[in-house]
Chains A and B, each alone.
Chain A
Amino acid sequence: MKTAVNPELQFHITNFLHYEAFLLDSRRFTEWLDLLADDIVYRMPLRATRERKDGATIVEDMTFFEESKTSLTTRVNRLGTTSAWAEDPPPRTRHFVSNILVESGFPNDALTVRSCFLCKRSRAGEIEAEEIFGERVDVLRNVDGQWKIAARTIYPDQAVLGVKNLSMFL
Chain B
Amino acid sequence: MLKHSVDNRIFQGLREKMEQGLLPQWIFTDPHIYELELERIFARTWQFLAHESELPEPGSYVTRWMVDDPVLLVRTNSGEIKAFLNSCPHRGTQLCTADFGKKKAFTCPYHGWTFNLDGDLIGVVAGDKVYGEEMKKDEWGLRPIPRVERYQGMIFGNLDPAAMPLDDYLGDMKWYMDIILGRSDGGMEVRGLPQRWVVHANWKVGLENFAGDPYHVQTTHRSTVELGISPQDPLYAGYGHQVVLQNGHGINVITATAPGKPQRPPYQGLPQEMWPMFERNLNADQLKVFAKTTVFVGSIYPNLSFNSPVHGSEGHLHNYLNVRLWRPLGPEKIEIWSWFLIDKAASEAYKEAAYKGYVGSFGPSGTLEQDDTEIWARIVHASKGHMARSKDLSYNNLLNYLMGLERVLPDETFPGPGVAYPTCYLDAIHRATHEYWLELMSKEEESAGENGCES
Contacts and interface: CB of A to CB of B under 8 A. Distances in A.
A148 B227 CA distance: 27
Given A83-B223, A166-B365, A50 B101 contact: yes
Nearest to B226: A81
Interface string B242-274: 000000000000000000000000000000000
Interface stretch (A6-14, A106-114, A155-163): A155-163
B193 A162 contact: no
A99 interface: no
A85 B197 contact: no
Nearest to A125: B381
Interface string B84-107: 000000000000011111100000
Contacts of B191: 61-62
B195 interface: yes
B199 interface: yes
Interface in B364-416: 364-365, 367, 369-371, 373-375, 377
A85 B365 contact: no
Interface stretch (A23-31, A32-40, A72-80, A139-147): A72-80
Interface residues of B, number: 41
Contacts of A48: 98-100, 193
A86 B220 CA distance: 10
Given A86-B370, A164-B373, A159 B196 contact: yes
A67 to B, nearest CB: 8
A78 to B, nearest CB: 5
Nearest to B368: A78
Contacts of B10: none
Interface in B70-118: 97-102
B223 to A, nearest CB: 4
B371 A49 contact: no
Contact of B199 (A66, A83, A164): A164
Contacts of B192: 46, 59-62
Interface stretch (B145-153, B355-363, B444-452): B355-363
A37 B101 CA distance: 38
A132 to B, nearest CB: 10
B195 A86 contact: no
B340 interface: yes
Size bracket, chain A contacts: 35 or more
A62 B193 contact: yes
B198 interface: yes
A65 B359 contact: yes
A82 B374 CA distance: 15
Contacts of A87: 370
Q: Is the interface of A mostly helix, strand, loop or mixed?
A: mixed
B329 to A, nearest CB: 10
A166 to B, nearest CB: 4
A78 B374 CA distance: 15
B185 interface: no
Contacts of A50: 98-101
B435 interface: no
Contacts of A60: 192
B222 interface: yes
B200 interface: yes
Nearest to B103: A51
B335 interface: yes
Contacts of A66: 355-356, 359-360
Contacts of A165: 197, 199, 364-365, 369-370, 373-374
A163 B191 CA distance: 23
B197 A167 contact: no
Contact of B335 (A59, A78, A160, A167): A160
Most B-side CB within 10 Å, residue of A54, A60, A163, A164 = A164
Given A59-B193, A74-B227, A167 B199 contact: no
A137 to B, nearest CB: 18
A129 interface: no
A51 B97 CA distance: 8
A77 B370 contact: no
B226 A164 contact: no
B446 to A, nearest CB: 37
Contacts of A160: 196-198, 335
Contacts of B222: 81-83
28 contacts: A46-B193, A48-B100, A50-B99, A50-B101, A61-B192, A61-B193, A62-B194, A65-B359, A66-B356, A66-B359, A67-B360, A74-B227, A74-B367, A78-B223, A82-B226, A83-B226, A84-B371, A85-B220, A85-B371, A161-B196, A161-B197, A163-B197, A163-B364, A164-B198, A164-B199, A165-B364, A165-B370, A167-B365
Interface of A: 44, 46, 48-51, 54, 59-67, 71, 74-75, 77-78, 81-87, 159-167
Given A83-B371, A165-B369, 17 more contacts: A46-B193, A46-B195, A48-B99, A50-B101, A60-B192, A64-B363, A74-B367, A81-B226, A82-B226, A83-B222, A84-B371, A85-B223, A85-B374, A85-B375, A159-B196, A163-B364, A164-B200
Q: Which 4 A-B pairs have the closest CB atoms?
A: A62-B192, A61-B192, A166-B365, A83-B222
